[in-house]
Amino acid sequence: MTKAISVGDYLIHAIEQAGVKHVFGIPGDYVLGLYDLFAKSSIELVGTCTEIGAGYAADAYARINGLGCVCVTYCVGGLNALNAVAGAYAEKSPLILISGAPGLGERAFSPLLHHRIRDFNTQRLIFEKVTVAAEALEDPLTAPRQIDAAIAACKRQKRPVYIEVPRDMVHRLCGSIRLEPQDAPKSPPDVLKEALRESASMLRNAKRPVILAGVEIHRYGLQSLLVRLVERSGFPVAATLLGKSVIGELHPQYLGIYEGAMGREDVRLAVERADCVLFLGAFMTDIDLGGFTSNIDVSRTINATAEQVTIQRHHFDGIVLRDFIEGLLKSKLGPRRKLRFAPRSKPKPVKLQRGRKITVRRFFARMNDFLKDDSVVIADPGDSLFGAADLTIHRRTEFVSPAYYTSMGFAVPAALGAQIRRPHLRPIVFVGDGAFQMTGQELSTIVRYGLNPIVFVLNNKGYTTERFIQDGPYNDIHEWAYHRWPEVLRQGLGLEAHTEDELEDALIRAEKHTASFVVINAHFDPMDRSNALDRLAKRLRARVQGKGS
Ligand SMILES: Cc1ncc(C[n+]2csc(CCOP(=O)(O)OP(=O)(O)O)c2C)c(N)n1
Ligand SMILES: [Mg+2]
């Protein structure tokens, strides 16, 4: 069917069709035309306090929904969201950033229009570095193709794209309504066959194989296939930190998070003593490998990602990760292995000790019991992440954290993005006091949209993660009364906990208070830490001081 449609309507229609129901951002005069069209569409505009908040919210939304979208004004808005887009690039989150821009008709003689930085293309050039497609819609005839290609690239590569709409293009007719579905990429059959033959032979001959699953399993929706492969083969499976929860953590074959020397010793030994490690969708970051403390010999590895399959030192290009896992499922991998590891059981509940000051270790041990089937755990970098890494996540995809890019301030806006898409999931947010001071005001947006996360501010009076690497007065921050945010926002429940009984009381009240958000100001000693931070900090300290690699 062909029907005249404007560039703006085409863009919105394409985004709707790609499954986006909410768009995050802040308007500005260069993008008001588009905002007006969004307001008339089925998509809900979610107005945040800052564009970085919109960016993090849309990133979390993308992780949960398969696609997320931010819409902002030119430069002052776009560059405020830049760090969130960079994080989405680094961690493979499919995010679309739409920016308004001065109209082409306004640009003659290069006037100094407000928000302009250098040239009219400066913002696009900056975004080219952190996206897989950066399109400026400057011709109505090519706009539909540019939009289709950008969205397709975003979905295929699970990385952000940038679409810039000069304000005088919004209502220009661009001809026809979309959209032909894009063909799914296909693996070259011979390459796939050879890679599968080599992999299956390595796995068949292995006596102690292990699967190490990473975040791409989640991004490409391969969790069920992974479980089938795990169960059919009988291989034990570990996950990377960024990939935490790609497999239900109570699965009997699940070992835990592999993080080199930073993680649990039993998991480290199981992976490092394996005679064949099958990496599936894992990118091996320094945090995932515990600051490169991992010790896995490449000659014992099969490493399949969405970008490449590498078997020992042989590279195979163009293989689609889903095809590879499906192929393995059909291959002979030897008889189903007997489990060599005791199945994981739910951690024992922590017994409350009245009057005892809360510590990070006992706090997270208690949290294990607090999580419900409808919880989504969102952890900010810092000890919130390291402590949360040992939580047992009940079902899949319920752990959201920027575990590699580690940009502070992600968690509160991420709770907004996650819950607006999945209102029946109650976010349990762990955020450091330093991180909360960056984006905590998005609690305001959380109130505005009627959401009810439980936010634990781990108040250790500063940048504790850094204290262990190198301490100094620069790691101190001004202490806020975090539990009094509800007074400013005129909604929400604020609670404070110094001791275990105060924490227990706060947990009971938080659970009951479902009408709006709960913020719990949890006091910790500035030098208290989780086990993982303890181990990581030792490694990083040596590196910062030039004593190790
Ligand atoms: C946006 C950003 N700025 C700076 C850093 C460097 N950094 C890493 S951890 C950290 C301290 C985090 O403090 P807090 O959020 O209070 O968590 P804690 O370490 O105390 O658990 C800092 C400043 C960062 N990761 N992200
Ligand atoms: Mg702190």
- The per-residue pLDDT for 395 is 62
Q: Confirm if 140 and 7 have CB atoms less than 8 A apart.
A: yes
Q: Confirm if 435 and 381 have CB atoms less than 8 A apart.
A: yes
Distance (Å) from CA 449 to ligand 1 centroid? 28
Distance (Å) from CA 359 to ligand 2 centroid? 13
- The per-residue pLDDT for 392 is 85
What does the alpha-carbon distance between residue 186 and residue 165 come to, in Å, rounded to a whole number?
32
3-state secondary structure of 137: coil
- Ligand with minimal distance to 436 CA: 1
Question: How much is the pTM?
Answer: 0.93
- The per-residue pLDDT for 213 is 96
Residue 408 beta carbon below 6 angstroms from any ligand 1 atom: yes
**Residue 4, number of CB atoms within 10 A of its CB:** 10
- The per-residue pLDDT for 498 is 98
Torsion sign, CA atoms 468, 471, 475, 480: positive
- The per-residue pLDDT for 540 is 67
- Ligand with minimal distance to 533 CA: 1
Q: What is the pLDDT of residues 334-357, one digit of tens each?
A: 777 665 555 556 677 788 889 999
- The contacts of residue 261 (CB under 8 Å, 6+ apart) are 268, 290, 291, 293, 294, 535, 539
- The contacts of residue 342 (CB under 8 Å, 6+ apart) are none
Where does residue 25 fall: left (phi above 0), alpha (psi -120 to 50 degrees), or beta otherwise? Answer: left
Residue 465 beta carbon below 6 angstroms from any ligand 1 atom: yes
| Spans of the chain below 50 pLDDT | 1, 397, 548-549
- The per-residue pLDDT for 72 is 98
- Ligand with minimal distance to 465 CA: 1
Distance (Å) from CA 524 to ligand 1 centroid? 16
| Pocket perturbation via mutation, ligand 1, pick of 50, 59, 408 by most ligand atoms within 8 A of CB | 408
- The contacts of residue 239 (CB under 8 Å, 6+ apart) are 212, 213, 214, 245, 246, 247, 254, 256, 257, 258
- The per-residue pLDDT for 260 is 80
Residue 406 beta carbon below 6 angstroms from any ligand 1 atom: yes
- Ligand with minimal distance to 461 CA: 2
Helix (H) or strand (E) holding 283: none
Residue 464 beta carbon below 6 angstroms from any ligand 1 atom: yes
Q: What is the pLDDT of residues 426-450, one digit of tens each?
A: 999 999 999 999 999 999 999 999 9
Residue 433 beta carbon below 6 angstroms from any ligand 1 atom: yes
- The per-residue pLDDT for 545 is 66
Distance (Å) from CA 474 to ligand 2 centroid? 12
Residues with Cβ–ion distance below 5 A, ligand 2: 432-434, 460, 464
Report in angstroms the alpha-carbon separations of 281 from 243, 303, 312, 449.
9, 8, 16, 35
Distance (Å) from CA 461 to ligand 1 centroid? 12
Distance (Å) from CA 521 to ligand 2 centroid? 12
Distance (Å) from CA 432 to ligand 2 centroid? 5
